[in-house]
Amino acid sequence: MQYLTSEEVQSLELKANTIRQSIIEMLTEAGSGHTAGPLGMADVFTLLYFGILKHDPKDPDWDERDRVVLSNGHICPLLYATLAHAGYFPVEELLTLRKLGSRLQGHPHKGALPGIETSSGPLGSGISQAVGMALAERIDNPYSSKFMYCLTGDGELNEGQIWEALMLAGREKLNNLIVIVDRNGIQIDGYTKDVMPLEPLAEKFESFNFDVQEVDGHSMRALNDAIGKAQAVYSQPSVIITHTIASKGVDVFERDFRWHGNPPGKGPEDRVEHEKQAEVALKKLRTLAGLIEAQDS
Amino acid sequence: MFADHLQPNLSPDTVEKVPNRNGYGEGLLEAGKRDDRVVALSCDLTGSTRTNMFSEAFPERFIQIGVAEQNMASVGSGMAAMGKIPFIASYAMFSPGRNWEQIRTTIAYNNSNVKIVGAHAGVSVGPDGATHQAVEDIAIMRAVPNMIVIAPSDVHEARKVTLAAAKHDGPIYFRLGRSATPVVTTPESPFEIGKAVRMYSRDVSLEKKVGIVVTGSLLFNALMAAEKLEKEGTGASVLHMPTIKPLDTEALEEFAKEHDALVTVEEHQIIGGLGGAVAEHLSGTVPTMIARMGVDDEFGQSGEPDELIEHYGMGIDSIAARAKTLV
């Protein structure tokens, strides 16, 4: 997408808000799952699926599509919600998340649901798979305009396999690979700086021969510009470190690592008690954090 | 009586010995010529896995991964997702040893068309010692859904396995050895994924009947043991099961019914390998006395390949002696 108009930005932001509401509803119904990552990355996913990707929800196996590899599979409620709102499958199906027989597995299963390119959950293997896709595409068509996007978390960067994959991508100068890091600063046990410090992160990627950008992960324009620049990089793979706020959109959940792996109804109670967590979250989102009146549904 | 498709006049003194990984190299090159979707990946072991024959012929379809087996498994999965047929080769200790989870999730759970080639399997790796002797690989791969597990016997069979793997759509693991091992089969001997092959049929005039079920390069020792048993008055047959999963249950049941007891022989732990698979199946169908021969819940050690095979009880005399105690 070229420059985003104000109308386009607003439309994307509203779409992201709708997707966040779906995430709260899905997680609440499921009674388990991850909240912080999905809410935090909703703007990135919305921009990708509604503004960037070459894809066709009615023809999910279209050969010319860009590939999206979700490496941090635990944020799949976001992927599922985005795919449903983009038209890959009925939105109502989102409420089957994590239930017996559902196509919406607790972590993504390739082949179960249209639009899922890889199974993931065990951390660290997504970039490798995206590198494999990028290599295969280059063998078939060195002038291909397909991009392989790999979404990964910052806690996930603790995994050694990540760096194995980066080394290979750098050596191969895979300019069709764009890695997007969710730099929300949290992981299950605490803040990333305490569990396993990553900084200087940009320099790490640079030393692995990546083109590196750092952007505000909640600014549609900044993200759009960064992805556009990454697509234009000629002789290197790219990484975009998106600085996001964990649980973005629900202020009473934001930035708290204890929301990493808990759904509404089971999160920390210091600000909102269990029974009210889903309701409060949905109200925050429906009123745009109190800026507008909630509509009775 | 030896099957008529085997090498003539098999005997320990005269049998030709060739590493079966050579058959992988030849088969991979041939598969690459037949189908340009075939790609090969290697973790800094291109020569010793014999991937070099392919990499020299098709450099554009060869990916040097470096010493990074976890990455190799998932890169292979990514390439398969784009329609390639990746063969990923390393030593069995590292792939599938080091990268089992990546194989499980990104290859098997994705049902990805990746062929995993574990070279230097078994104690016959020799002097490198236990760290490099994979004797658990069949067990860990057999437990993974969607996975086919094969242990070719010799160089000819390894070539056929490689070609069959390239044609099969789905994940396959096959193991190879390091040392030169007896060439038992011929280019004409049958091989089909999932099929057992009767390699030696007992003398039906003998009253005692023991069946030897074998996989991998110990096929030769099993054949020699059967011949020895027959000379000593015990009827013995050999069923070669190159495919451990899916098990050829029909052939196995028939074989079990025909004999009073079975011996399984594999260059692997007796826990979870061929012996485990055979016992699991027969216990519910044709309950049979089974002696499982292989490495008995211990690590290997340094030594010469033949010495180690003898030491861990997989030599010709050990197999024959054990079989005799059963009938």
- Could you report the per-residue pLDDT of B15-52, keeping only the tens digit for each? 999 999 999 999 999 999 999 999 999 999 999 999 99
Cis amide prior to A200 (ω within 30 degrees):
yes
What residues in B contact A110, CB-CB < 8 Å? Answer: 109-111
Q: Is A120 on the interface with B (CB under 8 A)?
A: yes
CB-side neighbour CA atoms (13 Å) of B140: 19
Q: Per-residue pLDDT averaged across B136-141, rounded?
A: 98
3-state secondary structure chain B: CECCCCCCCCCCCCCCEEECHHHHHHHHHHHHHHCCCEEEEECCCCCCCCCHHHHHHCHHHEEECCCCHHHHHHHHHHHHHCCCEEEEEEECCCCCCCCHHHHHHHHHHCCCCCEEEEECECHHHCCCCHHHCECCHHHHHHCCCCCEEECCCCHHHHHHHHHHHHHCCCCEEEECCCCEEECCCCCCCCCCCCCCEEEECCCCCCCCEEEEEECHHHHHHHHHHHHHHHHCCCEEEEEECCEEECCCHHHHHHHHHHCCEEEEEEEEECCCCHHHHHHHHHHCCCCCEEEEEEECCCCCCCCCHHHHHHHCCCCHHHHHHHHHHHC
Q: Is B75 on the interface with A (CB under 8 A)?
A: yes
Tell me if A164 and B71 make a contact (CB, 8 A cut-off): yes
Which residues have a Cβ under 8 Å from the Cβ of B122 and sit 6 or more positions away? B133, B134, B135, B175, B177, B216, B217, B267, B268
**What's the confidence (pLDDT) of residue A90?**
98
The CATH number of the structural domain formed by B197-326 is 3.40.50.920
Taking CA atoms, what residue in A is nearest to B103? Answer: A125
Give just the sign of the alpha carbon dihedral A99, A101, A105, A106. Answer: positive
**What's the confidence (pLDDT) of residue A291?**
78
Q: Is the pLDDT of residue B314 over 80?
A: yes
Mutation site, A116, A118, A129, interface B, largest B CB count within 10 A: A129
* Residues of chain B above pLDDT 90, percent: 100
Q: Is B74 on the interface with A (CB under 8 A)?
A: yes
Q: How far are the Cα atoms of A138, A269, B20, B133, B165 from residue B169, in angstroms, in the given order?
A: 22, 51, 23, 29, 8
Structure tokens at B107: 């290859």
> How high is the ipTM of this complex?
0.95
The ranges of chain B annotated as CATH 3.40.50.970 are 17-182
Q: Is A241 on the interface with B (CB under 8 A)?
A: no
Tell me if A129 and B84 make a contact (CB, 8 A cut-off): no
The CATH number of the structural domain formed by A6-286 is 3.40.50.970
By Cβ distance, the residue of B60, B75, B105 closest to A132 is B75
Distance from CA of A124 to the nearest CA of B (A): 9
CB-side neighbour CA atoms (13 Å) of A164: 23
- In angstroms, the CA B216 to CA B314 distance is 12
What is the number of residues in chain A?
297
CB pairs under 8 A between A and B: 104
Tell me if A136 and B82 make a contact (CB, 8 A cut-off): yes
Q: Is A106 on the interface with B (CB under 8 A)?
A: no
Going residue by residue through chain A, which has 297 residues, state the pLDDT in tens, using 9 for 90 and above: 578 999 999 999 999 999 999 999 999 999 999 999 999 999 999 999 999 999 999 999 999 999 999 999 999 999 999 999 999 999 999 999 999 999 999 999 998 999 999 999 999 999 999 999 999 999 999 889 999 999 999 999 999 999 999 999 999 999 999 999 999 999 999 999 999 999 999 999 999 999 999 999 999 999 999 999 999 999 999 999 999 999 999 999 999 999 999 999 999 999 999 999 999 999 999 998 777 876 654
Q: Is B188 on the interface with A (CB under 8 A)?
A: no
By Cβ distance, the residue of B39, B74, B110 closest to A128 is B74
What residues in A contact B66, CB-CB < 8 Å? Answer: 164, 167-168
The CATH number of the structural domain formed by B17-182 is 3.40.50.970
Distance from CA of B192 to the nearest CA of A (A): 28
Structure tokens at A241: 């470190």
User: Cα-flanking dihedrals φ and ψ of residue A101, to 5°?
Assistant: 85, -5
* Mean pLDDT over the full length of chain B: 98
At residue A215, what is the residue type?
V
Q: Is B111 on the interface with A (CB under 8 A)?
A: yes
**What's the confidence (pLDDT) of residue B2?**
96
Tell me if A125 and B111 make a contact (CB, 8 A cut-off): no
Tell me if A125 and B80 make a contact (CB, 8 A cut-off): no
What residues in B contact A136, CB-CB < 8 Å? Answer: 39, 78-79, 81-84
Q: Is the pLDDT of residue B172 over 70?
A: yes
**What's the confidence (pLDDT) of residue A78?**
98
Mutation site, B41, B75, B85, interface A, largest A CB count within 10 A: B75
Q: Is A149 left (phi over 0), alpha (psi -120 to 50) or beta?
A: beta
Torsion (CA) B227, B232, B237, B243 in degrees, nearest 10: -60
For tokens 């995430």, the residue is A23
Q: Is A139 on the interface with B (CB under 8 A)?
A: yes
Q: How far are the Cα atoms of A233, A248, B140 from residue B102, in angstroms, in the given order?
A: 30, 32, 13
**What's the confidence (pLDDT) of residue A23?**
98
**What's the confidence (pLDDT) of residue B164?**
98
Tell me if A167 and B102 make a contact (CB, 8 A cut-off): no
Catalytic residue set of B: 69
**What's the confidence (pLDDT) of residue A290?**
76
Q: Per-residue pLDDT averaged across B49-77, rounded?
A: 98
- In angstroms, the CA B197 to CA B138 distance is 19
Mutation site, B35, B71, B98, interface A, largest A CB count within 10 A: B71
By Cβ distance, the residue of A122, A135, A165 closest to B105 is A122
What residues in A contact B113, CB-CB < 8 Å? Answer: none
Q: Is B71 on the interface with A (CB under 8 A)?
A: yes
3-state secondary structure chain A: CCCCCHHHHHHHHHHHHHHHHHHHHHHHHHCCCCCHHHHHCHHHHHHHHHHHCCCCCCCCCCCCCCEEEECCHHHHHHHHHHHHHHCCCCHHHHHHCCCCCCCCCCCCCCCCCCCCCCCCCCCCCHHHHHHHHHHHHHHHCCCCCCCEEEEEECHHHHCHHHHHHHHHHHHHCCCCEEEEEEECCEECCEEHHHHCCCCCHHHHHHHCCCEEEEEECCCHHHHHHHHHHHHHCCCCCEEEEEECCCCCCCCCCCCCHHHCCCCCCCCCCCCCCHHHHHHHHHHHHHCCCCCCCCCCC
Residue A161 exposed, middle or buried by CB count within 10 Å (0-12, 13-18, 19+): buried
Q: Is A236 left (phi over 0), alpha (psi -120 to 50) or beta?
A: beta
**What's the confidence (pLDDT) of residue A288?**
83
**What's the confidence (pLDDT) of residue A296?**
53
Taking CA atoms, what residue in A is nearest to B98? Answer: A161
By Cβ distance, the residue of B73, B79, B105 closest to A135 is B79
Distance from CA of B84 to the nearest CA of A (A): 7
Q: Where are the domains of chain A?
A: 6-286
Tell me if B68 and A133 make a contact (CB, 8 A cut-off): no
